[in-house]
């Protein structure tokens, strides 16, 4: 089991829109797009569409999780 999140990600509407645009336009580097997707999935604000666990995010984006 992973360590969990030490800090919550709470995006405001403007931040969420910028990250969604970045992740959809396809013009940024793959690393930036992936980072934007992770941040959107970690978001725990009221505007979040779903609360994702670290395990769900890693499976959905084919990423590894860091373990102690």
What's the CA gap between 49 and 68, in Å, rounded? 30
Token representation of residue 62: 């084919």
Q: What is the value of pTM for the model shown? A: 0.81
* pLDDT given at position 68: 44
Q: What is the pLDDT along the chain (68 residues), one digit of tens a residue?
A: 445 567 889 999 999 999 999 999 888 899 999 999 999 999 999 888 888 988 999 999 999 876 64
Question: Is residue 58 within 8 Å of residue 65, measured between CB atoms?
Answer: yes
């Amino acid at each position: 089991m992973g360590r969990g999140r030490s800090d919550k990600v709470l995006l405001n509407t403007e931040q969420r829109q910028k990250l969604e645009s970045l992740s959809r336009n396809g013009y940024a580097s793959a690393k930036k797009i992936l980072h934007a997707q992770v941040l959107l999935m970690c978001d725990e604000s009221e505007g979040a569409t779903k609360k994702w666990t670290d395990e769900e995010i890693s499976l959905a984006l084919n990423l590894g999780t860091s373990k102690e």
